Amino acid sequence: MLHDPELMSFASDNYSGFHPEVLAAVAAANGGHQVAYGEDVYTARLHEAMGSLFGRPVEVFPVFNGTGANVVGLQSLLPRWGAVVCAATAHINMDENGAPERVGGMKLLAVPTPDGKLTPALIDKEAWGFGDEHRAQPLAVSITQTTELGTCYTPDEVRAICEHAHSLGMKVHMDGARLANAAAFLGVPVREFTSDAGVDVLSFGGTKNGMMFGEAVVALNPSACDGLIYLRKMNMQLSSKMRFISAQFLALLTDDVWLRSARHSNAMAARLRTAVANLPGVECTQATEANGVFAVLPEGVADRLRSTFRFYDWDAAAREVRWMCSYDTSEADVDAFAAALKVELGG
């Protein structure tokens, strides 16, 4: 054992270990041989499970990570000259080291937003110049559910975006790295704000919700996507032992493990928000709708608190920090963190 298994942080839901039911599913899938590169029984069953979840036949392409899912999914929507309208805070714009542009070969047209959410009016700030050979053509919109600021699109908001984008001849991608947290917050079937709302392709997150590794590109509207089977390989996202990614997703989808886990992480974030919101000098900056809390702290407090609990700055210049909860965050973890913050604030 090289680490303290009791050590918890509020830095990222990527810090957590594997959900016990996911770990058990991987072990159960481990015996004997299965055909490689996705021709296994687990991946076949995953197609059925995803089809049931989204209420229609879909095409599912398990991949290694979120950046790969976003690049592959967006590439499938665009010609070589295509551009993507996204929020300035979007993961594809801020946290993927230029992979969509350098690897995917697409131009990102980033729009500033106050809460991480696009609207039809905000999309129009970059959805222009159609037919202009001097401008990358805005042919796709990418939205993040939940957003990087922890906010959540309602089904009506997603539907309005999809209808507007489609009316302009654009397609819609959803980065669902925290899709489960959105479903838990909204309390509606996931299809209501994805397939039924008009989203064409989805990056379905698993790693942040208890998987060992792996995400999935889900073609909700297969007719809008082209070449996913080739693009996944070209982008080095084709797993030879795919059964182990698929088995993890099946474990999450069985008995709503994915939703139960997300409900818990959301509840822990809400508990944390309640515990810190009224402390002197703490100013929460975004609505807490999923598993993240954003706050501004007095000078020096964040660095002192990080000697006990790891977390990240969101905007260091503004002293804004981000605290994330996970499926395995406990009430005791939240209470200990809030108590430590109170001490650092002089309480």
Q: Is pLDDT at 347 greater than 90 in this prediction?
A: no
**What pLDDT score does 221 carry?**
98
**What pLDDT score does 287 carry?**
96
CATH of domain 257-344: 3.90.1150.10
124-143: per-residue pLDDT in tens?
Answer: 999 999 999 999 999 999 99
298-315: per-residue pLDDT in tens?
Answer: 999 999 999 999 999 999
The H or E element that residue 61 is part of is strand 59-63
Quick one: average pLDDT of 30-43? Answer: 97
**What pLDDT score does 96 carry?**
97
88: helix, strand or coil: coil
- CATH 3.90.1150.10, the chain: domain bounds: 257-344
Quick one: average pLDDT of 266-291? Answer: 97
Residues 124-153 as b/e (b if ≥16 CB within 10 A, e otherwise) read: eebbeeeeeeeebbbbbbbbbbbbbbbbbb
What is the Cα Rg of the chain in Å? 20
71-119: per-residue pLDDT in tens?
Answer: 999 999 999 999 999 999 999 999 999 999 999 999 999 999 999 999 9
Quick one: average pLDDT of 249-277? Answer: 98
- Asked if 70 and 96 count as a contact pair (C-beta separation under 8 A), the reply is yes
State the chain's mean pLDDT as an integer: 97
Antiparallel, parallel or unpaired: β 292-296 and 283-284: antiparallel
Quick one: average pLDDT of 27-42? Answer: 97
Quick one: average pLDDT of 159-187? Answer: 98
* Single pTM value for the model: 0.97
Q: Is pLDDT at 176 greater than 70 in this prediction?
A: yes
**What pLDDT score does 289 carry?**
98
209-222: per-residue pLDDT in tens?
Answer: 999 999 999 999 99
Residues 90-104 as b/e (b if ≥16 CB within 10 A, e otherwise) read: bbbbeebeeebbebb
Antiparallel, parallel or unpaired: β 82-87 and 137-144: parallel
Quick one: average pLDDT of 189-197? Answer: 98
Q: Is pLDDT at 1 greater than 90 in this prediction?
A: no
**What pLDDT score does 142 carry?**
99
**What pLDDT score does 330 carry?**
98
**Which residues, at least 6 apart from 206, have a Cβ–Cβ distance to it below 8 Å?**
214, 215, 216, 245, 248, 249, 252
CATH of domain 20-256: 3.40.640.10
